[in-house]
Amino acid sequence: MIKRLVWLIFIFLGCYYIYDNNLFNSQQLLLDLTKTNKLQEKNTYYVENKDYFFKEVTDFKPKNKDDLLNIYYTAINSGWDYFIFYCDYEKCLDDVTSLSENQDLLSHINSFVHPFNSFQSLTTYTYPLLNKKVEIKVDKIYSQAEIDKINKEINKIYQDLKIDKIDNKREQIKIVHDYIINQTKYDYHKISNLDDQTYQSNKATGLLFEHYAVCSGYSDTMALFLNKFNIPNIKVTSDNHVWNLVYLNDKWLHLDLTWDDPYDEKGIDQLNYFFFLKDYKELKKWETSEHIFNEDIYKEGTN
């Protein structure tokens, strides 16, 4: 009889711990946040927000879907590999599940963060009974070994091209623009077969060390140099293309190295400036389907 009573008390306390919000919030929430989000520092590659589509937050209890997206952005921009939060509105877990199953919207976050903080995929764990707890694990595009190697190469190129001797930002960008295009071939095999692993052409590693790239490789590499020059920049991602957007002389200007690096009918590489620091009106004149983008997300690109 006594053993049975003890078990009933144990079960009651266990259920009370799980379902009573006040007890849970005062203990488990504090414990989790202390172990994760609250103690995590922003890493070296954190980018200060410039009133972008995604906003930085300090409260990790979303009240709506916008709050939810901003939590993801804040954590990814801070360089965290793991973070947690607790849903605080009725359909929150449904929204989390939808985002995790189709990461197209979340993928736009990569356009607003440093390439070394960008993610390849996000793994989501939800706990409906534990006060709607959500855990996110971030699989980043670049490993630490790749980051170290890339940084060393960019510093070498910076010195070899004597960019430190040049004060004009536009000229600095042009030198890197020309260097990248002259050293790189577009990886057409990757486009025809996305599973092709001959080159890491979708990353800066493929461009800098293998000299093959697709649009994401071009834009990541250019973004790394722009960051080194302390020039504010983001990327613009359309349905099938990505390029750079640069804040220069109080204007946002489009910079597309991929489209400036074509080859002619004989297979000879060319160097163009058709998409070199162009404003929105100039970009629209080309009427290319690849440069049609979500103007709500990338409002900077319409200035």
161-208 tens-digit pLDDT: 999 999 999 999 999 999 999 999 999 888 777 677 889 999 999 999
Give tens-digit pLDDT for 280-300: 999 999 999 999 999 999 999
Amino acid (one-letter) located at 22: N
Is 262 in contact with 256 (CB distance < 8 Å)? no
Q: How far apart (Å, rounded) are the C-alpha atoms in residues 217 and 223?
A: 10
pTM above 0.85, yes or no: yes
What is the maximum span of the chain, computed from C-alpha positions, in angstroms? 91
Which domains are present in the chain? Answer: 2-140 (no CATH), 144-302 (3.10.620)
Is 163 in contact with 177 (CB distance < 8 Å)? no
Give tens-digit pLDDT for 8-46: 444 444 444 444 444 444 445 445 554 556 668 999 999
Nearest to 243 by CA among 225, 263, 223: 223
* CA distances in angstroms from 117 to 32, 42, 79, 162, 253, listed in the order given: 23, 11, 5, 28, 23
The SS3 assignment for 281 reads helix
Place of tokens 């163009």: 272
Helix, strand, coil % in the chain, rounded to nearest 5: 50, 15, 35
What is the Cβ-side half-sphere exposure of residue 200, based on CA atoms within 13 angstroms? 13
